[in-house]
Structure 1
């Protein structure tokens, strides 16, 4: 973990001061921020996780709304500390939540937050890429991989491939592809679409797969999965 915020919600019991100090010590590289009423978007953007003490938060309308926002935030790894008697009160959804039960061990909190962090990152990666047989298009990194090897595509080649792969089975005319990828400012003809398709095919097609199919007299489509 690096120097980012970790949000603390709850921990209002004075007897928990020692526990908070232990959590602060074990997360020595991170800055702990107590949140009470509102969730600052800027603080949230620099936060790698949240530790929620479900048994010791200020019950009330605003606090319940804030608790609900924290729990439902799929992009925020979190550890919820609760007791066996109150566990059923939690309305939990998502895969980036870890549960700790009282009595609390700070090292367990850290381990569980790291597990949630890894799971959240993995989920984010999977949600931002296109997988098709042995071809992977990473939408966050603008990368294309084939059989584990990174391909060298130009920006227009990448954009054209992504556009087709995002709509498998749908046929696009050369005119639509030209307008969508090159915009109305481009004064060349549809021949440039054919040239880029040919270049893309030379990089992604192999004996096992032919990803882009030609619809004669119309245009191109990215084939459906078998």
Structure 2
């Protein structure tokens, strides 16, 4: 993952979220803190984090319910953080889709090490998987695109844009969100960049009856799969 990967920290203890954010920021990660689980879940599509550090015992909805709801739309890494250390609690969290489990109190350096390890596993998992649609195969491992059984040469940014929207198919992204996830938070260009790259992709990938790159007027774009 990029050093500027974004991490959502969700814990009702403000001291905990601030401590985690302090250490993550020193490592080059971008963070956003939430002391309310419902607020964090509602802000997920806006912030689009690359990982979530999630406390289990919280008012509103607990970490287990949070994880259950999030897994309906995203496979990003989740590390559960809790004072509970019983084996059963860990099993429940992992079965619901958590990628790792750390018990409080914890050493910040251990948390950092676990975060990096989970990111490595997540990247490796996704590198080994190709996105397969009718007449279209997108493989992140070698940046290859096979369209109608022919290899299609795409510049890196066009490929990364296609891979991003296709791997999150049927989800609408604003131009700003796409810029942030594909070009990086520090990109200084305009949202017109996204429009230009989308146009080029459409010229090379004609809509299929099973999928298409769709403009959602006044919002942005999505890779729509029927």
TM-score with structure 2 length normalisation?
A: 0.48
Instruction: Look at both structures and tell me which one has the larger radius of gyration over its CA atoms.
Output: 1
